[in-house]
Amino acid sequence: MILATVLFAVGVYIGMNLPPSPEPTLRNNYKIIFFHLPSAITSYVAFTVMLVASILFLIKREQKWDVIASSSAKAGFFFITAALISGSIWAKVAWGSYWNWDPRETTVLILWFAYAAYFALRASIDDLEEKAKFSSIFAIFAYVTVPLSYVSTRIFFSLHPSTAQIGLRIGMPLGMVITSFLLMYVAFMIVDTAISKLELTS
């Protein structure tokens, strides 16, 4: 956690001291990328871990895999919500509106609702075994929204900027912040799975 904090602080410091964008409408507002992109990437990692854990539960029927899946879902949902909000803030500056039904915005919103439904499903089932089974099945289908949101800008016309436009000057501090977010995700997983396992045995 200390390493994550240091990387985050250094990465953000370097990023915030980069020169303004030559684009008049953006200026310093493009720097929200140092929060937006790490949030999005970490959410994708979390949902992928959730997918793998859900598949392993269905194969092995071991409760620990459901614990990992549900903990990773919590982290993923938090980070995708952060990405959705920060992306809307950027859209307001760049496009003049918080919401434009851009393909990336729309598919991420679909993703958000899919995983919100996952939590609703878990809350509606009391039996632990049934909850884990149906949640795992749902998680596998819900994961379709992750690659869909990623490739949406390649399938449809989109105003969303490409990461290919990011040079080394932005990429280096951005990489540090992404690493810090991933480390925070790992720290959350360690703590949350430990708490969930204690709750199961109590």
Positions in the chain short of pLDDT 70? 15, 19-30, 157-168
Give me the pLDDT at residue 119, please: 97
pLDDT tens column, 69-122: 999 999 999 999 999 999 888 888 777 788 888 888 899 999 999 999 999 999
Give me the pLDDT at residue 164, please: 55
Give me the pLDDT at residue 170, please: 74
Q: Which of 191, 124, 173 is nearest to 17 (CA)?
A: 173
Give me the pLDDT at residue 23, please: 59
Give me the pLDDT at residue 68, please: 96
Give me the pLDDT at residue 22, please: 55
Instruction: Map out the domains of the chain as residue ranges.
Output: 2-17+35-201
3-state secondary structure the chain: CHHHHHHHHHHHHHHHCCCCCCCCCCHHHHHHHHHHHHHHHHHHHHHHHHHHHHHHHHHHCCHHHHHHHHHHHHHHHHHHHHHHHHHHHHHHHHHCCCCCCCHHHHHHHHHHHHHHHHHHHHHHCCCHHHHHHHHHHHHHHHCCHHHHHHHHHHHCCCCCCCHHHCCHHHHHHHHHHHHHHHHHHHHHHHHHHHHHHHHHHC
Give me the pLDDT at residue 103, please: 85
Give me the pLDDT at residue 162, please: 62
Q: Which of 27, 1, 38, 79 is nearest to 173 (CA)?
A: 38
Give me the pLDDT at residue 122, please: 95
Give me the pLDDT at residue 160, please: 66
